[in-house]
Each structure stands twice: as C-alpha cells, then as structure tokens.
C-alpha cells in the first residue's frame, strides 16, 4: 500500500470447484467436501479401509464432481515423517493413480484428529458415538486448512502427488 491509500488489502482468489478432503486412518478413511466456492469444508462420509476403498472414494469424486483431492499428511511436531506419513503417502499415490487426471495433493494434518475428537467430546458425543464420525470431522479440518491456505497465498495447497501407474482398490 502507498501512503494515502486507504483501500483494504485484496484477498487472493481461490480456484472454483468442489474439493474433497481425506483423513487416512488405520480402520477408516474420513471424507469431507467443500462447497463449489471453496469457502467451507463439511464432513461427508467414512469409508472402511480395505478392498474397494479406492473404488468408493472414486465414486465420491464422481458423485460430487470434485476437481481436487486433499489427503492429510501426518507429521510430528518437528515436521518429521514417520510410519503413518509413509502409509499416507503410499495411499495418496494409489489414489492419484486411480483418480487421474483429478489432482491429489498432500497437506499437513498435524493435530486434526485430536482437535476433531475434542470438539465432538465437548459437543456431548460419547466415545462410541465419536468413533464413526471423528475421521470425517478430521477430514473437514484438513480440507478447511487447505482452503484457507490457498485463499491466503493464491497457490494450491500442499504437495502434488504424481499420478503413477494404476492402483488396486
């Protein structure tokens, strides 16, 4: 801004289109969906891990016309990647191969499941009631973070996953 310029800073533009957020867990895969304008992420579904999980995710992508998938990448506080991050990367690579040409991106997901579980607990949900929806809520947090990051920087969030050879699922 120049001296005397009283205009507010311009917000970055966000690419239009529905995005799906994915929280890859050991038993379930949480899925969230954004509105077409990319303002708000909402919990959508939980998919059981195992045979057919990539097929179910591909069906959700088609059903919602998603233009991009954001997969959470679990890292430690220091930013180091452990076994969970390696599993998420492997899953994201299989998903990218299955969904090509729809891009799949990895985005930081530190604390999303913990924050989602805490919010559900404070909302009065017991442990058994939280279990099936916590992954969806975590996926919504991952996706909302990615939307907010793109809005603030003007660049697609996270790291693009190359679409390699086909995947089973």
Cα–chain center distance at 72: 5
Tell me how crowded residue 76 is: count the other CB atoms within 10 A of its CB.
Answer: 11
From first to last of its 169 residues, the chain has per-residue pLDDT tens of: 445 545 545 556 788 999 999 999 889 999 999 999 999 999 999 999 999 999 999 999 999 999 999 999 988 777 787 888 999 999 999 999 999 999 999 998 765 556 555 665 666 666 665 566 778 888 999 999 999 999 999 999 999 999 876 444 4
Q: Quick one: tokens of 98?
A: 């299955």
Alpha helices in 70-126 (DSSP H): 83-99, 112-122
1, 22, 97, 121 from 104: Cα distances, Å: 36, 10, 9, 31
Beta strands across the sheet bearing 41-48 = 41-48, 28-34, 19-24, 68-73, 104-108, 159-161
Q: How confident is the model over 82-117, as pLDDT tens digits?
A: 888 999 999 999 999 999 999 999 998 765 556 555
Q: Quick one: tokens of 99?
A: 């969904």
Count of Cβ atoms closer than 10 Å to residue 122 Cβ: 8
In whole angstroms, give the CA distance from residue 124 to residue 120: 7
Angle between helices 127-153 and 112-122 (to 10 degrees): 130
Spell out the domain ranges in the chain. 19-161
- The Cβ of residue 169 has, within 10 Å, a number of other Cβ atoms equal to 17
What's the fold here for domain 19-161?
Nucleotidyltransferase; domain 5 (3.30.420)
Residue 75 has a pLDDT of: 82
Quote the pLDDT of residue 124.
66
Q: Provide the terminal-to-terminal Cα distance of the chain, rounded to the nearest Å.
A: 52
């Amino acid at each position: 801004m120049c001296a005397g310029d009283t205009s507010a800073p311009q917000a970055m533009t966000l690419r239009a289109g529905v995005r799906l957020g994915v929280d890859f867990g050991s038993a379930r895969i949480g899925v969230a969906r954004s509105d077409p304008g990319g303002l708000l992420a909402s919990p959508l579904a939980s998919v059981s891990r195992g045979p057919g999980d990539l097929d179910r995710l591909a069906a959700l992508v088609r059903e919602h016309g998603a233009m991009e998938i954001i997969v959470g990448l679990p890292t430690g506080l220091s930013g180091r990647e452990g076994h969970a991050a390696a599993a998420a990367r492997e899953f994201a690579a299989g998903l990218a191969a299955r969904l090509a040409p729809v891009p799949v991106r990895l985005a930081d997901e530190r604390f999303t499941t913990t924050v989602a579980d805490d919010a559900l607990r404070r909302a009065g949900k017991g442990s058994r009631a939280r279990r099936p929806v916590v992954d969806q809520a975590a996926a919504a947090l991952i996706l909302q973070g990615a939307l907010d990051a793109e809005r603030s920087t003007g660049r697609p969030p996270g790291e693009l996953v190359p679409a390699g050879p086909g995947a089973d699922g």
